Structure 1
């Protein structure tokens, strides 16, 4: 089941708690669990690609002198230094030359000149070029006049000369986020390689009287350009970064050289300066976020959206392990990580310093998780003092805390052609010399009558499944055919088409088996994530089915997507979803309603598909940390945002619905599908998933009134 990739979302220039519910869409895993820790070794290879050549363009805007005699706005001390810092970084790290820069400072940065600079940039840029845009100055807000902002406010840049007179000219008005959206859209039409950074904030109320804050009061006048229609950003492309959330302050601060810089620009530039081959924009942002929040607490939380996994130094997207930032070093030298049990961190798991270019990564410092709270975890470093704020770590081994899943290993030719393969697989299940296990959460057993999974070596003839008898569960094997290892239910039914693993290369076969079984264990762990019994979910989730039709009139109940019309029908509550049966190619979309009078909640919808993949339906991978927030008494119609599930695979699906008072990195819960021959689950896979690998409802969890869970499911048929 795939999520809708098309999403229409206007860009907000300033990028500006937990309850879990689980919706099962038939494909589950349940047994009583005990605290029996097992450990998995992570072996994925993440090799960076070489950088790609492209033209380079930078537009740097710094407004420091706001001519307070005319405007009454306090001037700033850091924007000019920010621009010099960014310019030097781009020259030294990205190879920019003098001719690549367009710089507007103070009285050069009028509304008209900023617009002209963008238009010239659009004309100059060629496909594949790299564009960097950086603004340092005041931000503000004004009334939204064209109805594209749910908050009723447009965010703005306070350009030079704005609000200096009563003249009805755009130079007397701020630059609207709508305008910047349209300018960026024109750039994205020519290249995806656009990085947009705004070191400003938009709420002057958060720090009244503090003249180092980059925000001024709202402009109460109707904006002269506010009612115009603007081209919106139809896709999340490039990188867009803001120094703070809408209700926070972006400030500047004096540094060791005696100069003032924007706190965000200072850390952002330094982290870009230190970027290594293979680093992504996500890595740079996480380091910057950790350093700023360490310095300012939660008073300034940067935001980012876009193609996070793009390499900073070129080369496009690469497979990346999910990383966690070091947020703090405690007085007793423990390392604090910005992820907890809700994001899948478990006590006993081992994390290692992330450095993709290191020649021997296993020699890098590591830490072992000693305490995993809901949102934060703590680890014992080895050696002590080896981590600093802003470092990134990646999971090296995962500790499971449930009763091991029993597995039998069988073959059709145990004393002949399969003997050496059986020995290799049995050896792989043994604990390594470093006390890690390739197959955590599993234990081999010789009793097929008391097992949760069966691994069976078969040799089908030329890929044809010839059965001795019509009702035989498994096909015949032929000694001269290549071996396959099938992952079966206790009743010898194939668990999934992509769990027929080729074993003509034993080493590769063992690796595939390890990866796939560990994914099954991960699914069990995530499905077993439950809050305390009786915890009410403060955000209601309703599902809606969209069915393909020949034609319908676009509107609240009709969507035109990928050249097809879909009609919206029926509303289903969370428990009612369990009774649904969908057909292939239907779409399931959702409405979120925060019933709480006072508390805002972050909402996450995860999908566990029949192929073993786990991904976030909402928010999208490229979204900002704040995007999944549903304010108190507010509703989010994901249908209107074109977010949902397209039913493609036959079988049972699982949705996990998480509501939280605090944001989480949902990417830490995601995983790819089972490897080898992507396919759908056998119709009888429920015999295993409903029995052996489905997290038990109501399993013991830490009491926490910030979150709750529930679990339901539905079936997808042809």
Structure 2
């Protein structure tokens, strides 16, 4: 797979978002703009010159760039050779740890892939100045290939990881078909590219993130509708009578100016994308574009990798209703409450409540007297689950003695907050242990020679001693420990249990989310049944066997460190239950048997509380989920799923005509944080055995199937 795709509006972000004060190292900006295409058969653009000025201004104001930090080439200096020379000069001047910003504004296109590195059979290109103007066999008569750009970036990555690559051009398609407005896209060059057969150096690491939107249109329209010209190709953003900008570049620059501590590059892109799509009304088109995200999406201002809450951009507010471009397939539910995301704000922030959900969008009612604007980020404050509350019984060995303060603190955490939201929205305390689905038990165990002391050898729980610190154990209704690691130690002062209760809340809510996602299913139409049948999922079971090195069923995996395995299968997805053991690897193959392209997602709900995307790689752009009609994808070349624990694992397959923001579905395993707390690490799904209620959403645009695998 080509590690660099110059998809439309591609942002290849290979750096933490670094503010001016953090940039002690050198700074380098290469800005390329081509506005004059008059010597070619292509329409000249009106915005690139202003785009360069706009981006240079942002780099000066927000990143502290000085005049000597810039290399700016435009029009007749931006020939193929001129761009190559500029990259080479940039590579020479960059030192380890420097910060690099690369920006391109101009036409984009495609040409036939001659070296076989593109699954689509097409290379993406920048249309350099003077390209395609003569019959001369010179590189200046040909576009700049994405392969070349990848080679130049690889040389930069070898020196620094702080590289930001932005390309405001267009030349890629989505699954959905429809009319396009190719204002910064030109027809593919049908000539064999002069440099197309070369072997190029490719980046060997997926650093940072790359995000964009895959569409056959360009990011520039007019701000004032009265200024729109009749020519469908002349849709530049007119800020003043004689000033045009690329629409994406304009809003990208505004988002950079407004970014604050705690924002990620992904936040900046989401805000930009929401503003662009709202302006163009793309939600009204059947071929609505979707955000594209690749790489480490959570990189924040100071290079911090601290997990942040999932943030969703507001699409628009119309009168008393707010629209979000995420729906049930991203985990949004009716009744859930979201609030404005401002990490540095200490006061009360505006909130909205979800009132309607479709698979790909949701609608919310904001609080009275509050307004949200396009691009605002919101985070979920309280989730509404579509199932009856899970009953929890809380007990202790010293309920009227030393354990009383902790019992009271936990009970209080299950009560509604002053604003009526819940810390544990999926759970309800019960006083009847026989009606409980889960038990939380406070013990004060003691070890002797490394072993827990029990009153009787066959007791399920250890004996408690009043002089020992309390532990919270998570148990089945039969008082069996769900996992040996599910023992939380509260060694802070007796009356300060905030950290432990917070961690309990996070992990129990993760368990509830797994249950909710497990129940998500499609229903109701022949189209859905056809979608399920359209994509066949087959599974190979690979069992470690160092003695199996010859024969048809013996194989050494592409990652040789995994060693030799004996393969069984292939099996249909629904046929693997009962065949899987701890230590096995699962390898998947997807085959689209239909005549329609689909987006496919293979998702694992793990016994450790995690939700992982097996396919596609969540660090790649959303187009990577597309499986073209009649095509087969062997995932073993990219990923295998290890069955690491005994218990219940769930594999869910979603088939859709539109891409989904799969990152909103993912969640980390039950947390292991801090040295004072031994938290819920592996809350097994045993507590969910027998829970088989279903939640159905009637829609002809997506379908799902799943298999529950008991790992032995």
TM range (shorter): 0.7 to 0.9
* Pick aligned residue for 2:602 from 590, 595, 605: 605
Structure-1-length-normalised TM-score: 0.86
Alignment of 1:447-466 (within 5 A): 447-462=432-447, 464-466=451-453
Deviation at residue 233 of structure 1 after TM alignment: 2.9
Distance 2:356 2:587 in 1: 37
What's the secondary structure of 2:37's corresponding residue? coil
Deviation at residue 568 of structure 1 after TM alignment: 7.7
Residue 336 of structure 1 corresponds to 323
Residue 583 of structure 1 corresponds to 582
Residue 473 of structure 1 corresponds to 460
Residue 580 and residue 194 in structure 1: after superposition, are their counterparts in 2 closer, same or farther (change >3 A)? farther
Residue 619 of structure 1 corresponds to 616
> 1:160 and 2:160 equivalent?
no
* Pick aligned residue for 1:146 from 89, 94, 115: 115
Distance 2:161 2:260 in 1: 21
Where structure 1 has 5 or more consecutive residues not aligned to the other structure, the ranges are 1-7, 17-47
**1:549/1:564 contact within 8 Å kept:** no
Residue 674 and residue 336 in structure 1: after superposition, are their counterparts in 2 closer, same or farther (change >3 A)? same
* Pick aligned residue for 1:131 from 100, 106, 118: 100
Residue 272 and residue 91 in structure 1: after superposition, are their counterparts in 2 closer, same or farther (change >3 A)? same
Residue 56 of structure 2 corresponds to 87
* Pick aligned residue for 2:303 from 309, 315, 325: 315
Cα RMSD for the two superposed structures: 2.8
Aligned length: 661
Residue 409 and residue 388 in structure 1: after superposition, are their counterparts in 2 closer, same or farther (change >3 A)? same
Residue 245 and residue 674 in structure 1: after superposition, are their counterparts in 2 closer, same or farther (change >3 A)? closer
Residue 228 of structure 1 corresponds to 198
> 1:324 and 2:312 equivalent?
yes
> 1:11 and 2:10 equivalent?
no
> 1:268 and 2:252 equivalent?
yes
> 1:169 and 2:134 equivalent?
no
Distance 1:175 1:406 in 2: 62
Deviation at residue 552 of structure 1 after TM alignment: 7.1
Residue 292 of structure 2 corresponds to 303
What's the secondary structure of 1:266's corresponding residue? helix
Give per-residue Cα distances to partners, 1:432-486, cap 9 Å, x unaligned. Answer: 2221222222222222222111111111114742223332211111111111111
**2:670/2:682 contact within 8 Å kept:** no
> 1:367 and 2:352 equivalent?
yes
What's the secondary structure of 2:240's corresponding residue? coil
Where structure 2 has 5 or more consecutive residues not aligned to the other structure, the ranges are 10-18, 222-235, 283-287, 673-677
Residue 452 and residue 321 in structure 1: after superposition, are their counterparts in 2 closer, same or farther (change >3 A)? same
> 1:517 and 2:517 equivalent?
no
Deviates more, 1:706-715 or 1:558-567: 558-567
**1:348/1:370 contact within 8 Å kept:** yes
Distance 2:519 2:20 in 1: 37
> 1:490 and 2:477 equivalent?
yes
Distance 2:6 2:109 in 1: 11
Distance 2:81 2:549 in 1: 44
Residue 494 and residue 411 in structure 1: after superposition, are their counterparts in 2 closer, same or farther (change >3 A)? same
Give per-residue Cα distances to partners, 1:183-241, cap 9 Å, x unaligned. Answer: 1122222222211111111269999997x811212111111111111122333223435
**1:407/1:454 contact within 8 Å kept:** yes
Distance 1:304 1:229 in 2: 27
What's the secondary structure of 2:401's corresponding residue? coil
Deviates more, 1:250-259 or 1:488-497: 250-259
Deviation at residue 51 of structure 1 after TM alignment: 4.0
Deviates more, 1:387-396 or 1:443-452: 443-452
**1:579/1:713 contact within 8 Å kept:** no
Residue 500 of structure 1 corresponds to 487
Give per-residue Cα distances to partners, 1:153-204, cap 9 Å, x unaligned. Answer: 1111111121122221111111111111111122222222211111111269
* Pick aligned residue for 2:271 from 287, 290, 309: 287
What's the secondary structure of 2:44's corresponding residue? coil
**2:2/2:117 contact within 8 Å kept:** no
**1:50/1:315 contact within 8 Å kept:** no
What's the secondary structure of 1:470's corresponding residue? coil
Give per-residue Cα distances to partners, 1:80-105, cap 9 Å, x unaligned. Answer: 11111101111111111111111110
**2:350/2:370 contact within 8 Å kept:** no
Residue 411 and residue 288 in structure 1: after superposition, are their counterparts in 2 closer, same or farther (change >3 A)? same
Distance 1:666 1:254 in 2: 32
What's the secondary structure of 2:298's corresponding residue? coil
**2:30/2:102 contact within 8 Å kept:** yes
**1:650/1:680 contact within 8 Å kept:** no
**1:341/1:372 contact within 8 Å kept:** yes
**1:368/1:379 contact within 8 Å kept:** yes
Distance 2:410 2:179 in 1: 67
**2:671/2:681 contact within 8 Å kept:** no
> 1:539 and 2:535 equivalent?
yes
Residue 29 of structure 1 corresponds to none
Residue 346 and residue 150 in structure 1: after superposition, are their counterparts in 2 closer, same or farther (change >3 A)? same
Deviates more, 1:373-382 or 1:503-512: 503-512
Deviates more, 1:651-660 or 1:399-408: 651-660
> 1:180 and 2:149 equivalent?
yes
Residue 60 of structure 1 corresponds to 31
More RCO (CA 8 Å, sep 6+): 1
Residue 129 and residue 582 in structure 1: after superposition, are their counterparts in 2 closer, same or farther (change >3 A)? farther
> 1:652 and 2:622 equivalent?
no
Residue 91 and residue 154 in structure 1: after superposition, are their counterparts in 2 closer, same or farther (change >3 A)? same
Give per-residue Cα distances to partners, 1:655-684, cap 9 Å, x unaligned. Answer: 2221222222222222222234478759xx
Alignment of 1:383-398 (within 5 A): 383-398=368-383
Structure-2-length-normalised TM-score: 0.87
Distance 2:405 2:264 in 1: 43
